[in-house]
Chain A
Amino acid sequence: MGTQIKLAMMATAIAMTFTSAQAANLRVGMQDDPDALDPATSGTYAGRIVFSAMCDKLVDIDAKLEIVPQLATAWTWNAGGTEVTFTLRDGVKFQDGTPFDAEAVKFNIERMKSMKDSKRKGELAPIDSVTVVDATHVSFKLKSAFAPLLAVLSDRAGMMVSPTAAAEGKEFAANPVCAGPFKFKERRARDVISLEKFDGYWNAAAIGYDTVQYLYIPDSTVRLSRLQAGDLEIAERIAPTDLGAVRGNPALALHTSPGLAVSHLMINVGNSEKGGALGKEAKLRQALELSIDRNVINKVAFAGEFTADNQMIPPSSVFYDKSHPAPARDIEKAKALIAEVGGDAPVVEITYENSLADGRVAQIVQSMASEAGFQIELVPLETASAVERYLAGNFQAYIGNWSGRADPDPTLYSFFGKDGSQNVNKYGNPDMDKTLGEARASADVEQRKALYAKATGIYLTDLPTIPLYHPNWFYAARADIGGIAIYPDGLLRMTSVKPAK
């Protein structure tokens, strides 16, 4: 009897080993449940992680944020920088068998520009028209020179979906069809998204897994313990305070990259009623900046694992401006600036999303700024109400978390351009608008660097927002999984990921 049970157990174990060897499955622990799985309407970072396995883009970025080919193998600009022609990869098919060609590119760009709920309209606005040259050549005509276009096309705006599937119209996001290495299999809301290998992928030989599952596990500590227990192969966004546990575990490997994101303290400069004295007086904002020690924030809240910095653009970008280093904390100077304006230091109300990270940052800022005389009140709100107030500009100060982009333009223009989509604190400076406009039109990297350095000087003087730090990306994985490479965009590129031999 006992022997029989043992035999049966052994047989089961052998059978299980066999199954796992035959069908390799990769389980990824995710902090958020993605929103709509349609590149045109998606608005979450978690969604971008899933897309990076499912939807190829016209171009991609590499670790140095340089543009590299993906569905387009080459591109040429005209002399004025107002038209770009792409050479498309030959023989590519969408996951439903529809061929990928110039017509499909035209369809996709027009779909994202015209679809009612499209979130890509702003990013693609510089494109005036798309012309099919032949099956493998397509050209985009721009309204005016717009150097950041390729960087825009390296993200969701450059993801190509099957025109056949999209034309059916209904519920595309529930059954997305793209041209990436993995195709959509099923989704259970707030639980799991399952993908399976697409055998017709143009680079199918490189794919290492048969199936990928993205499991929604919001708590970073739980994600880590499930990874430690062998319940996951990869976990994204490990908390900086948990990194010691990953580094000390030989069964796990840590994969990191500097990020593009920035966390910053926005101040309502355009609404005198909400912004108060702090919104009106740049000197008070400078005093607030001087009362804060960014290194302490990084050390206390993030175990020193993030990058303390005073700019919106991260140091990993070639456009980072080295001529404006973060000022050291100087309480006396802060007090002197407050005295120059006259009266007591103002009461400042900081609104933020009630996450542990922002909560900690807010309390550290509160504690440090109080030494200069600032009396800071904290208003933590759950995400939906916080975002609502943010978009309505209904705050005095707000801890913003911006995911960043490969090119500096989308970040700087969104926050500091007079009609920027994130300019909710209503900052306006004609000099800034002029500088950003010139940088958009220039294709010369050195010239753009100089223009962005000038823009950095402008916003660091006006301080409509006080940048605090740049988060870095931390993925933890089982140590025997190969081919994981995290770039500054923080996405998990699935093609190269290989199971243990």
Chain B
Amino acid sequence: MNTSNATLQLPGTSGTNKSVLSRCLRQPGVMIGGTIILLFVLVAVAAPLIAPYKPNTSDWMAIRQGPTVAHWFGTDDLGRDILTRIIYGTQASLLVGIVSVAIAIAIGVPLGMVAGYFGGIGDMVISRITDALLACPFLVLAIAFAAFLGASLENAMIAIGISAMPIFVRLTRGQVMTVKAEDYVDAARLLGVPHRKIMLTYILPNAMAPIIVQATITMATAVLAEASLAFLGLGQRPPSPSWGTMLDVARQFLTESPWMAIWPGVAIILLVMGFNLLGDGLNDALDPRRDD
């Protein structure tokens, strides 16, 4: 009884934290994606220091001007510096991407684990509610929640988080059901390891990879969803910048002032790409079947 734990080498516990980290760092995706996101985080934090202007200050003599020495990215329809607004918009977009996905994971993953691990009536109730929520289009759900909560960036994050939650429930449940059929889980259960410990140390790490990938995709969706909500007056309030609202305004000047759309578009692409590369790399690094 005392010796059993020491002799059993289980997949869930095999890699120490150090070796997981080094496996991650060997993935170019993790490195590149992580660097991009880190850069955006730095930009968001240092916004007041690095932005050349104030985000809401208009220059009425410089309406929709192309890139110049004074305004590297040009100015928008109200004569505001686009570079400055991209820099400040990073705060809103990153915050929405990360916080709303954190909310979705914090609610979705535990529910999915409980449903997948224990099954039974709990599983049925959770799964039916999830099915019902998944039947509603993501954005419609987010609009409904945001309208209910009221207009602000914080409420938009909560609304997007709740709307994105069902996909995590379903994904986690499926993963848990696959993993719990593995021999090492049976072995752990036979050894009398408590359910909570089995879930957290044996099942969760082995079910985590697809959840992380989903999280990166959802972060990208969340950034775009914030833009949609802002357009309906349910997200970032004007004049504070967010990339989505900048794009929305730019749409009207696509042919005459393309720079208004290009920069927020590039910023969204870069951030989404960063999340996706990171997710991809983590997926490879964390895959227990991967031989390295």
Task: Please give, as numbers and ranges, the residues of chain B lying within 8 Å of A366 by CB-CB distance.
Answer: 239
Partner among B57, B238, B251 whose Cβ is within 8 Å of the Cβ of A362? B238
Stretch from B5-13, B107-115, B163-171, B252-260 at the A interface? B252-260
Task: Please give, as numbers and ranges, the residues of chain B lying within 8 Å of A367 by CB-CB distance.
Answer: 56-58, 78, 239
Assuming the contacts A241-B252, A244-B256, asked whether A360 and B77 have C-beta atoms less than 8 A apart, the reply is yes
Task: Please give, as numbers and ranges, the residues of chain B lying within 8 Å of A296 by CB-CB distance.
Answer: 60
Whether A300 pairs with B60 at a CB distance below 8 angstroms is yes
Assuming the contacts A354-B231, A367-B58, asked whether A380 and B77 have C-beta atoms less than 8 A apart, the reply is no
Task: Please give, as numbers and ranges, the residues of chain B lying within 8 Å of A221 by CB-CB distance.
Answer: 251-252, 254-255
Task: Please give, as numbers and ranges, the residues of chain B lying within 8 Å of A299 by CB-CB distance.
Answer: 60, 63
Partner among A244, A245, A301, A381 whose Cβ is within 8 Å of the Cβ of B233? A381
Q: Could you tell me the distance between the alpha carbons of A366 and B238 in the complex, rounded to whole angstroms?
A: 10
A288-307 interface (Cβ within 8 A of B): 296, 299-301
Nearest 9 CB-CB pairs, A to B?
A380-B233, A354-B233, A381-B233, A363-B239, A367-B58, A378-B238, A382-B232, A296-B60, A300-B63
A364 at the interface (CB under 8 A from B): yes
Q: Could you tell me the distance between the alpha carbons of A245 and B58 in the complex, rounded to whole angstroms?
A: 26
Number of residues of chain B lying within 8 A (CB) of chain A? 22
B79 at the interface (CB under 8 A from A): yes
Distance in angstroms from A396 CB to nearest chain B CB is 15
A250-309 interface (Cβ within 8 A of B): 296, 299-301
Distance in angstroms from B201 CB to nearest chain A CB is 48
Whether A379 pairs with B151 at a CB distance below 8 angstroms is yes
Q: SS class of chain B's interface: helix, strand, loop or mixed?
A: loop
Q: Could you tell me the distance between the alpha carbons of A301 and B231 in the complex, rounded to whole angstroms?
A: 18
B242-262 interface (Cβ within 8 A of A): 249, 251-256
Task: Please give, as numbers and ranges, the residues of chain B lying within 8 Å of A354 by CB-CB distance.
Answer: 231-233
Task: Please give, as numbers and ranges, the residues of chain B lying within 8 Å of A379 by CB-CB distance.
Answer: 151, 233, 237
Task: Please give, as numbers and ranges, the residues of chain B lying within 8 Å of A239 by CB-CB distance.
Answer: 252
Task: Please give, as numbers and ranges, the residues of chain B lying within 8 Å of A167 by CB-CB distance.
Answer: none
Q: 16 extra interchain contacts, Cβ-Cβ under 8 A, other than A245-B255, A359-B249?
A: A220-B252, A221-B251, A242-B256, A300-B60, A354-B232, A356-B249, A363-B58, A363-B239, A364-B58, A367-B56, A367-B239, A377-B237, A378-B237, A378-B239, A380-B233, A381-B233
Task: Please give, as numbers and ranges, the residues of chain A lying within 8 Å of B233 by CB-CB distance.
Answer: 354, 379-382
Distance in angstroms from B59 CB to nearest chain A CB is 10
Residue from B231, B232, B237, B239 having most chain A Cβ neighbours under 10 A: B239
Q: Could you tell me the distance between the alpha carbons of A495 and B190 in the complex, rounded to whole angstroms?
A: 89
Q: Could you tell me the distance between the alpha carbons of A379 and B253 in the complex, rounded to whole angstroms?
A: 24
Whether A380 pairs with B238 at a CB distance below 8 angstroms is yes
Q: Could you tell me the distance between the alpha carbons of A380 and B252 in the complex, rounded to whole angstroms?
A: 18
Task: Please give, as numbers and ranges, the residues of chain B lying within 8 Å of A301 by CB-CB distance.
Answer: 77
Task: Please give, as numbers and ranges, the residues of chain A lying within 8 Å of B256 by CB-CB distance.
Answer: 241-242, 244-245
A378-398 interface (Cβ within 8 A of B): 378-382
**A363 to B, closest residue via Cβ:** B239
Q: Could you tell me the distance between the alpha carbons of A220 and B253 in the complex, rounded to whole angstroms?
A: 11
**B57 to A, closest residue via Cβ:** A367
Q: Could you tell me the distance between the alpha carbons of A367 and B240 in the complex, rounded to whole angstroms?
A: 12
Q: List 12 A-B contacts (CB under 8 A).
A: A220-B252, A241-B252, A300-B77, A354-B231, A354-B232, A359-B249, A367-B56, A367-B78, A367-B239, A379-B237, A380-B233, A380-B237
Task: Please give, as numbers and ranges, the residues of chain B lying within 8 Å of A242 by CB-CB distance.
Answer: 256
Contact with B along A132-164 (1 / 0, CB 8 A): 000000000000000000000000000000000
**B79 to A, closest residue via Cβ:** A300
Q: Could you tell me the distance between the alpha carbons of A379 and B252 in the complex, rounded to whole angstroms?
A: 21
Whether B58 pairs with A356 at a CB distance below 8 angstroms is no
Partner among A244, A245, A363, A378 whose Cβ is within 8 Å of the Cβ of B78? A363
Partner among B78, B238, B249 whose Cβ is within 8 Å of the Cβ of A300? B78
Q: Could you tell me the distance between the alpha carbons of A239 and B77 in the complex, rounded to whole angstroms?
A: 13
Q: Could you tell me the distance between the alpha carbons of A367 and B238 in the complex, rounded to whole angstroms?
A: 11
Task: Please give, as numbers and ranges, the residues of chain B lying within 8 Å of A377 by CB-CB distance.
Answer: 237
B211-267 interface (Cβ within 8 A of A): 231-233, 237-239, 249, 251-256
